[in-house]
Amino acid sequence: MAQGFLVYVENRNGRIRKGSLEALATARRLADALGRTVDAVIVGDDAAAAQAARFGAHRLFRVAPADVFDARDGVVELLAGLVRQESPAWVVASATAAGKDCLPALAARFERSVIQDATEVAAEGGELLIKRPIYAGKAFEVVKPAGALAFLTLRPNVFPAAEAPAAATVVDHAAAVDPARVRTRVAEVRETAGGKVELTEAAIVVSGGRGIKAAEHYPLIEQLAAAFGGAAGASRAVVDAGWVAHHHQVGQTGKTVSPTLYVAVGISGAIQHLAGMSSSKYIVAINKDPDAPIFKVADYGIVGDLFQVVPLLIEAVRKLKA
Amino acid sequence: MKIGVCIKKVPDTETRIRIAPDGRQVSLEGVSFIISPYDEFAIEAALQLKEKAGQGEVVVIAVGDEDTGKVMRNALAMGADRAVLVTDPAVVEAEPYDVARILAAVARKEGVELLLFGKQGVGQDYQQVPTLTAELLGWPAAAVVVGLDVAGGELTATREIDGGEEVDRLSLPAVVSAQKGLNTPRYASLKGIMAAKKKTIETHALAALGLAPLAQRSWEVVRLEMPPARAAGRLIDGEPEAQVKQLVELLHTEAKVL
Ligand SMILES: Cc1cc2nc3c(=O)[nH]c(=O)nc-3n(C[C@H](O)[C@H](O)[C@H](O)COP(=O)(O)OP(=O)(O)OC[C@H]3O[C@@H](n4cnc5c(N)ncnc54)[C@H](O)[C@@H]3O)c2cc1C
Ligand SMILES: Cc1cc2nc3c(=O)[nH]c(=O)nc-3n(C[C@H](O)[C@H](O)[C@H](O)COP(=O)(O)OP(=O)(O)OC[C@H]3O[C@@H](n4cnc5c(N)ncnc54)[C@H](O)[C@@H]3O)c2cc1C
């Protein structure tokens, strides 16, 4: 059979990352167009495997967590074994923190670089054409893999996740991981999101800027985000002022988000901020300055005082959702 | 301890990007270059570790060209002891794997015990050179690090992960990539700037590291594109109550996100 895709499905404590489901569905769409197949691999239990199996793979390798010592180096070792065994043409993962870390370690073993953070992938003439942002989204490059093996990660929230007509065949796979290759030991994991929607996966993101004036007003942003059922972000000005932790920062030196709706509150729209959110589907700006650059990218703009507008908006959204 | 810090030259983040006439490169004519912002956290971390130990050496390492040599002086002015630049006609537009194998060769030749990076080079934003290099060296690695301590030959790194933090323990030699929040990079002092002027940038070609040009590239650039222009948006007028009412209506019926 022609060589196809190998997709790494990320399972975090029983929850499969949304980006991984998007990667599975994207690989399936491309495989169908190219007449190839999709293999996938998940580390986890039967329930996790059954869930992942619905999203487009033909065959899903299930690996017991103990086999990979619950560590990144173990996952890399597992994937390297599968690449040698199955000789895929394309190895795909979601560009999550873990995906962007695992794939380069894997690619290095095959003397390759990774095509990171793709935002579009098309099948053309039996090959893949991959588009990715460069210079923080100020431009895009379209690349074509060279050689018989390519590694790519897909930006979360950009590609649709869809269930396939038939579930994958689940195959229990014993990973022969050499413990000596597990070099980095994870001593502790601390969850800071506290069960909230992760910024990069949220369908709706509400971010606050310097216009909120003080740390004690950031809850206004959180309340609006909660009303929408989304996540709360911030501009760098807010992070630098110490009003909120850095993991909320959106922009060139923060997170890149591509939600369906991005609401910028009291944010001027500096180029470095736009870099992190301009691929959002809809953008709403609330700013008292009609000349703020954020209005140039906003689909809907409200010129007004956020301290008046946001409380009304929270109420209106809650009412509509009730 | 000898610490290597890999730094990349990038266009100033305010730079307006233009596509070169060949349609496959970014035109960097007249652009001013800086050290990639994340690399400054790595330099600062190295200087602090050296100061804390009361001894050691900080070597900045880059793969690049003449302009790279210029930004390396800024790292020397901050307090780095030496600068090693690899430049060669065969590494123009080097891809991440190529850069990584060169950096790994320099790290081995220099005998560094800790190799620091920025978490990503602003520009191509590949976010992989640190991890590729670690793998080639066979060293443990921690990426996107916001806390760092070295004691008794062991390194403790606090990493930023999606929705939380992870604490890793690594034995030396090791690779670490720095995230914002790790520290506040110092400014170069006048004395530092004067001292940096006198230092030489040690420059090597590939052959001096025992390397041949990269045999197989991972991809070919087909074309560059500018981002699609966003259609002009709509400003909603009126009193706050009316504005909010109309916005919610549009989000509900037109954008269908509510
Ligand atoms: C290397 C580098 C990297 C950077 N990376 C990032 C990054 O990742 N993310 C990022 O965001 N920035 C980044 N920046 C910073 C960026 O250049 C801007 O300084 C920053 O985005 C400004 O934040 P702001 O919009 O919140 O603040 P400001 O630019 O000060 O804007 C505040 C806005 O609030 C409005 N306002 C004030 N009061 C009210 C009110 N009552 N009601 C409504 N509106 C009000 C004002 O009209 C103004 O438009 C970076 C800069 C550099 C040099
Ligand atoms: C002659 C020449 C011209 C180049 N021209 C360009 C250009 O126009 N635009 C561009 O973006 N890149 C250019 N490069 C750099 C090269 O293409 C990139 O370094 C490489 O592709 C890695 O990309 P990145 O910074 O996105 O990697 P990332 O993996 O995002 O970088 C992470 C970290 O790795 C380290 N690192 C990355 N690259 C280097 C390096 N070259 N030297 C030392 N440490 C490094 C830094 O610590 C950086 O913070 C050029 C290189 C050479 C030799």
Same domain (yes/no): B13, B130: yes
Measured CA to CA, the distance from residue A319 to residue A87 in angstroms comes to 54
Same domain (yes/no): B147, B81: yes
Same domain (yes/no): B157, B242: no
Distance (Å) from CA A77 to ligand 2 centroid: 27
**Is B227 part of a structural domain of the chain?**
no
Nearest chain A alpha carbon to B137: A108
Nearest chain A alpha carbon to B20: A139
Same domain (yes/no): B31, B153: yes
Residues B164-214 have pLDDT tens digits of 899 999 999 999 999 988 999 999 999 999 999 999 999 999 999 999 999
User: Given this model, what pLDDT does residue A279 score?
Assistant: 86
How many residues does the structure list for chain A?
Answer: 322
Same domain (yes/no): B120, B62: yes
CB atoms B227 and A140 under 8 Å: yes
Nearest chain A alpha carbon to B144: A97
Same domain (yes/no): B93, B42: yes
**Is B91 part of a structural domain of the chain?**
yes
Strand order in the sheet with B2-6: A185-191, B164-171, B154-161, B141-151, B174-178, B114-118, B2-6, B57-63, B82-86, B201-204
User: Given this model, what pLDDT does residue A184 score?
Assistant: 87
Chain A: give the shortest CA distance to residue B60, in Å.
Answer: 22
Nearest C-alpha neighbor of A38 from the set A50, A52, A18, A17: A52
Phi, psi of A64 (to 5 degrees): -70, 135
Same domain (yes/no): B199, B250: no
Q: Nearest by CB to B144, which of A97, A103, A135?
A: A97
**Is B228 part of a structural domain of the chain?**
no
Instruction: Report the residue of B22, B120, B127, B145 to disrupt the A interface, i.e. the one with the largest count of A CBs within 10 Å.
Output: B127
Measured CA to CA, the distance from residue B179 to residue B143 in angstroms comes to 8
Confidence of residue A194 (pLDDT cuts 50, 70, 90): low
Mean pLDDT of chain B: 93
Distance (Å) from CA A151 to ligand 2 centroid: 19
Residues A88-109 have pLDDT tens digits of 999 999 999 899 999 999 999 9
Backbone φ/ψ region at A266: left (φ over 0), alpha (ψ -120 to 50), beta = left
Same domain (yes/no): B238, B202: no
Same domain (yes/no): B154, B188: yes
Same domain (yes/no): B141, B53: yes
**Is B116 part of a structural domain of the chain?**
yes
Residues A171-190 have pLDDT tens digits of 999 998 988 888 888 889 88
Residues A131-165 have pLDDT tens digits of 999 888 888 999 999 999 999 999 998 999 999 99
Q: Which residue has the tokens 């099948």?
A: A123
Mean pLDDT of chain A: 93
Residue B250's domain comprises: 233-258
**Is B242 part of a structural domain of the chain?**
yes
CB atoms B222 and A271 under 8 Å: no
Residues A14-33 have pLDDT tens digits of 899 999 999 999 999 999 99
CB atoms B135 and A146 under 8 Å: no
**Is B222 part of a structural domain of the chain?**
no
A185 contact B CB<8A: yes
Chain B: give the shortest CA distance to residue A138, in Å.
Answer: 6
Q: Determine whether the shortest distance from the Cβ of A3 to ligand 1 is under 6 A.
A: no
The full set of domains in chain A, from first to last, is 5-181 (3.40.50.620), 199-321 (3.40.50.1220)
Residues of chain B short of pLDDT 50, as ranges, are: none
User: Given this model, what pLDDT does residue A1 score?
Assistant: 44
| pTM for the model | 0.89
CB atoms B162 and A98 under 8 Å: yes
> In the A/B pair of chains, how many CB contacts fall below 8 A?
260
- Number of domains chain B contains: 2
Residues 6+ apart with CB under 8 A from A6: A39, A40, A41, A79, A82, A83, A86, A88, A90, A91, A92
Same domain (yes/no): B241, B195: no
For A309, counting Cβ atoms within 10 Å of its Cβ (0-12 exposed, 13-18 middle, 19+ buried), the class is: buried
Confidence of residue A9 (pLDDT cuts 50, 70, 90): very high
Which residues from B are below 8 Å from A298, CB to CB?
233
Distances (CA, A) of A77 to A72, A181, A258, B203, B218: 9, 8, 31, 36, 21
For residues A314-321, give the mean pLDDT.
95
User: Given this model, what pLDDT does residue B91 score?
Assistant: 87
User: Given this model, what pLDDT does residue A106 score?
Assistant: 97
Between residues B216 and A314, the one the model is more confident about:
A314
* CATH number for position B115: 3.40.50.620
**Structure token pair of residue B104:** 């790994």
Same domain (yes/no): B80, B171: yes
**Is B129 part of a structural domain of the chain?**
yes
Residues in contact with ligand 2 (CB, 6 Å cut-off): B 6-8, 28, 36, 38-39, 61-65, 91-96, 99, 103, 117-118, 120-121, 123-130
User: Given this model, what pLDDT does residue B100 score?
Assistant: 97
Nearest C-alpha neighbor of B4 from the set B32, B36, B40, B43: B43
**Is B219 part of a structural domain of the chain?**
no
